[in-house]
Amino acid sequence: MKQWGIYIAAAIAIALVAVVAMHPSYRQRRMVTQLQRAPSAEDKARLIQEIIDLDPTSADDILEQYALQNPTVAIDPRHIVGLVSDTTSGDVYEVGDGVAGSFRIGTPVHKFQEVHLLRSTERVARFVLQEREGLATPRYSTYRFKYDGGAGARIFDDVRPDDITRWQAEGIWPF
Report DSSP state, residue 149. S
> Rounded distance, CA 163 to CA 55, Å?
35
- Res 79: pLDDT: 87
- CA–CA distances in Å: residue 108 to residues 44, 82, 112, 131, 137: 19, 19, 10, 11, 19
Above pLDDT 90, what percent of the chain?
A: 37
* Band of residue 66 on the pLDDT scale cut at 50, 70, 90: very high
Above pLDDT 70, what percent of the chain?
A: 75
pLDDT digits (tens, 9 = 90+) for 75-121: 999 888 999 998 888 888 889 877 655 556 655 666 888 999 999 99
> Rounded distance, CA 12 to CA 56, Å?
30
The dihedral built from the CA positions of residue 107, 43, 126 and 168, taken in this order, carries a sign that is: negative
- How, if at all, do strands 103-105 and 92-96 pair? antiparallel
- Res 117: pLDDT: 96
Q: Are the C-beta atoms of residues 129 and 143 closer than 8 Å to each other?
A: yes
**Other Cβ atoms closer than 10 A to 159:** 18
Q: What is the dihedral of CA 132, 137, 138, 141, to 10 degrees?
A: -110
> Rounded distance, CA 67 to CA 116, Å?
9
pLDDT digits (tens, 9 = 90+) for 153-164: 788 889 999 999
* Band of residue 8 on the pLDDT scale cut at 50, 70, 90: low
Does residue 74 register a pLDDT over 90?
Answer: yes
Does pTM surpass 0.75?
Answer: yes
pLDDT digits (tens, 9 = 90+) for 51-62: 998 888 888 888
- Res 167: pLDDT: 96
